[in-house]
Amino acid sequence: MRKIIKNSKYPGFVLQCNEQLVLDSGKTLDEFEIAYQTYGELNVNKSNAIFVCHALTGDQFPAEKNPITKKTGWWDLMIGPGKTIDTNKYFVICSNVLGGCVGTTGPNEINPKTNKIYGIEFPTITIQDMVRVQKILVDELKIDKLLSVVGGSMGSMQVLQWAATYPESLRSIISIAGALKHSAQNIAFDEAGRQSIMLDPNWKKGNYIIEDTKPENGLSVARMIAHITYLSDAAFQKKFGRNLQEKQDLSFGFDIDFQVESYLRYQGKSFVDRFDANSYLYMTRAMDYFDVSEQLIKNKESIIKNKIRFLVLSFTSDWLFPTKESRGIVSLLNSIGSLVSSAEVVSDRGHDSFLLDEPQLFKITSGFLKGIKL
């Protein structure tokens, strides 16, 4: 049984599913919830729906003030009235991913079998599991075919998984700053972050909520490690250089000397106030397991039959998901005869460029969407 209710904790809605969900690991969830938000109105033909997939630390609030941080939505520059994804024209859906920590079932939620917090007993998930749950939501909204599925970074992984798994359910995808699979370097960064969390004594073997502790130091360091990869060398240099933080001379100690150190510590500290440590473990693991190449090839006939249009975008200064990864996506899509366009956006701001004010990104994306008739 499925039921949509108003979200009592956050803005938006929750789809409650009292049904068994079989995961890629072979384990199951006997019931689960999907927290989501929508923007704009669904037209009569239900042909204007766009599903937006969030990145690792995102949530279902891309285009409004975040209820947790009170800051502007993470893609407010992209989504809204008159913007690239124009909510006067499109019906936008964004859900918190499976394993997340903003209302969708994840390790910080209650296990109905034990009536206790899942913690580390939550089953390992994959990007395909996340998309499987998103498809359940779209089905419940009675939308047969999405106009597009859009996302950057981990969102791009979900986008590509949609095309590989449910090609009959969408007309286009927009993959931004993504890859067909996680690289060894990115797996290494994820592992360093996970170890920083699990080696924090307050992690308590994943039971920190029950133990009333919080692995703040470990999660903060994990965020600092990841955030370094989101910017480019040029971005760091332009923003901070070797400028000192509110002092004239070096301290010759290990407190904050440089502005960049203060910035990273702030990023780490603010992150622990809004994100769950176990969710970070599960979601980075899902990214590590991601490899959609064979599935795209296997389902090429359906992709071609449904005439899915692909837009693949990258950024010149992105070293976390460099342009060569996007070229790999394009090469594979060309090899199976799909309809694919691509562009490399010039930016010196690194991987996070897809979240920032990049007019070229907006122009290309807007033009692509306008080319798809409602």
pLDDT digit string, tens, across residues 253-289:
999 999 999 999 999 999 999 999 999 999 999 999 9
Instruction: Tell me: pLDDT of 27 over 90.
Output: yes
89 has pLDDT over 90: yes
Q: Is 227 a catalytic residue?
A: no
Q: What is the mean pLDDT of the chain?
A: 97
- Contact criterion met (CB below 8 Å) for 15 and 141: no
Condensed to tens digits (0 to 9), the pLDDT of residues 313-356 reads 999 999 999 999 999 999 999 999 999 999 999 999 999 999 99
The residues spanned by each domain of the chain are 2-182+291-370, 186-284
Tokens of 234: 């040029």
Residue 138 is predicted with a pLDDT of 98
Q: How far apart are CA 38 and CA 61, in angstroms?
A: 9
Rounded Cα gap, residues 207 and 371, in angstroms:
50
Rounded Cα distance between 125 and 3, Å, is 23
Query: Of the listed 95, 148, 153, 326, which one is catalytic?
Result: 153
CATH number of 186-284: 1.10.1740.110
Which residue among 318, 338, 352, 353 is the active-site one? 318
pLDDT of residue 247: 86
| pLDDT tens-digit series, residues 213-251 | 999 999 999 999 999 999 999 999 999 999 999 888 998
User: What's residue 116's pLDDT?
Assistant: 94
Q: What is the arithmetic mean of pLDDT over 125-145?
A: 98
Helix (H, G, I), strand (E, B) or coil at 81: coil
Residue 341 CA, distance from chain mean position: 22
Name the CATH topology of 2-182+291-370: Rossmann fold (3.40.50)
Size (the chain), residues: 374
State pLDDT tens for residues 77-88: 999 999 999 999
Query: Where does residue 86 fall: left (phi above 0), alpha (psi -120 to 50 degrees), or beta otherwise?
Result: beta
* Catalytic-labelled residue, pool 196, 326, 338, 351: 351
Return d(Cα 176, Cα 167) in angstroms, integer.
19
